[in-house]
Structure 1
Amino acid sequence: MGIPADFRSGDGMEALLIDLDGVLYEGDKAVNGGAEAVAWLQQEGIPFRFVTNTSSRPRQNIVEKLAAMGVSVTVEQLFTPPVAARQWLVDQQVASVALFVPVATATEFVGLPVVDSSLATGVDAVVLGDLGQGWSFERLNQAFRLLMSSPDTQLVALGLTRYWAVDDGLQLDVGPFVKALEYATGKTAVVMGKPSAEFFHAALQQLTAGQKPLNPA
């Protein structure tokens, strides 16, 4: 698949935010023309970020997956819900954070005031990601109790995806667990992920740091 002529001209194109699943790959299979398109963007010097709702693994794993498909990018060119959530937590100057995310994803939050969610009695923010098989009633109830410990405790969701396809069928993602906690606590989650407009704006802010701001319209 080549680069379409009308796209190749780049008229008016300031930058691109690009999805991954279904655009560059489907599962572990590369999408034809994806690597060529990324190479063209790099050759033309057009700024871009990959935006994905993946919260079950760190960015380095995604970089390695793309490299195996012939797409050479850096960790900094990937914008994920954990990256957006980390920046939000820093901006809010939270004093304590409880993470309900996979161990690998927790590495994205190194340096923040993370507490042991099983021992904490109160925190400023509860971060919810795709725990997959790691979910249990006990884990969900821990998050619920922490959220109820103070009216000021924030629920931060790493996306609202309802489900996704795995090898043996469909599997629940983080969205249903976020909605369950919203219903139980009466709180509204701060959503870090697609299709939240704030997520795309945050990606643009990172993309244009130190440069002339882009028009997001």
Structure 2
Amino acid sequence: MPGLLFDMDGVLYEGERPVAGAAGVIRWCRDQTIPHLFLTNTTSRPRQALARKLERMGIHIDAGQILTPPVAALRWLRQHARGPVALFVPEATRGEFAECEIAADDYPGPVAAVVVGDLGEGWDFATLNRAFRLLMDPAEPPLVALGMTRYWRAEDGLRLDTGPFVRALEYACGREAVVLGKPAAEFFHAGVENSAAGLPSTTASRPHAYSRARTKG
């Protein structure tokens, strides 16, 4: 077995409640020296916060073992974007893009890319229209989507996720987004490059992924 990919929400925990036996499985993988990564489509929390959450549940890992869409996006931006990047992501996630040149909110463009994540209640017409205007620049910057999840179940009910806003921008600008989240292959390739677990490259194309229906992640 070249390695294991563990989904997080719904596999290791459900909300703030750990899944029974999850910590023991991770300890077994470590004892057996089986390379493993942790995957999540969430863009609302940085990896350090996710690692602390797992630690409270008895799962002790390095934040570098967690693969999130912002990590995959940063890898893609290194290779394809030269210049300022417009971020439409939660404030807590912006730190994952610290090495990028970030366009200010009043920057008129052009930008090297428009990155869209789960802004939640941060979305309004002005914010969505700003993303649209940047995309309509003659330079045609790429639209980078941190996942295409349509909705998720919060404690107070269903909430829109990243996908509907990305679809609106795709329709408006007439271009398809570069999607960097499960199950896009680029997402798994980013994990191989960034992982502290040292998964071999074959894992990216044929991962042994453990997942089940979940609320978000």
Instruction: State whether TM-score is above 0.5.
Output: yes
Q: 1:168 to 1:213 in 2, by over 3 A?
A: closer
Within 2, Cα distance between the matches of 1:120 and 1:58?
A: 28
Within 1, Cα distance between the matches of 2:43 and 2:138?
A: 26
Q: 1:183 to 1:212 in 2, by over 3 A?
A: closer
Given the alignment of the two structures, is residue 165 of structure 1 paired with residue 146 of structure 2, yes or no?
no
Within 1, Cα distance between the matches of 2:199 and 2:89?
A: 33
Give the corresponding residue for 1:89: 77
Asked whether the equivalents of residues 204 and 214 of structure 1 are also in contact (C-alpha less than 8 Å), the reply is no
Give the corresponding residue for 1:3: none
Asked whether the equivalents of residues 47 and 207 of structure 1 are also in contact (C-alpha less than 8 Å), the reply is no
Aligned counterpart for 1:55 among listed residues 28, 31, 43: 43
Within 2, Cα distance between the matches of 1:210 and 1:132?
A: 34
Within 2, Cα distance between the matches of 1:69 and 1:29?
A: 8
Within 2, Cα distance between the matches of 1:126 and 1:213?
A: 29
Cα-to-partner distance string for 1:55-85 (whole Å, 9 max, x where unaligned): 0111111011100100000110000000000
Structure 2 runs not aligned, ≥5 long = 207-217
SS in structure 2 at match of 1:17: strand
Give the corresponding residue for 1:182: 170
Cα-to-partner distance string for 1:84-132 (whole Å, 9 max, x where unaligned): 0011101114211000011110000002111113323321100001000
Within 1, Cα distance between the matches of 2:196 and 2:14?
A: 29
Q: 1:54 to 1:210 in 2, by over 3 A?
A: closer
Aligned counterpart for 2:127 among listed residues 133, 139, 154: 139
Aligned counterpart for 1:191 among listed residues 162, 179, 195: 179
Identify the range of structure 1 (199-208 vs 150-159) with the bigger mean alpha-carbon deviation.
199-208
Within 2, Cα distance between the matches of 1:89 and 1:209?
A: 23
Q: Counterpart of 2:97 in structure 1: which amino acid? A: F
Q: Counterpart of 1:154 in structure 2: which amino acid? A: P
Structure 1 runs not aligned, ≥5 long = 1-12
RMSD: 1.7
Q: 1:119 to 1:176 in 2, by over 3 A?
A: same
Given the alignment of the two structures, is residue 74 of structure 1 paired with residue 62 of structure 2, yes or no?
yes
Q: 1:86 to 1:99 in 2, by over 3 A?
A: same
The count of corresponding residues between Structure 1 and Structure 2 is 205
Give the corresponding residue for 2:194: 206
Q: Counterpart of 2:15 in structure 1: which amino acid? A: G
How far 1:209 sits from its partner (Å)?
Answer: 8.9
* Bigger radius of gyration among the two: 1
Q: 1:125 to 1:26 in 2, by over 3 A?
A: same
Task: Report % sequence identity.
Answer: 52
Asked whether the equivalents of residues 118 and 161 of structure 2 are also in contact (C-alpha less than 8 Å), the reply is yes
How far 1:197 sits from its partner (Å)?
Answer: 2.1
Q: 1:113 to 1:208 in 2, by over 3 A?
A: same
SS in structure 2 at match of 1:115: coil
Give the corresponding residue for 1:6: none
Q: 1:136 to 1:28 in 2, by over 3 A?
A: same
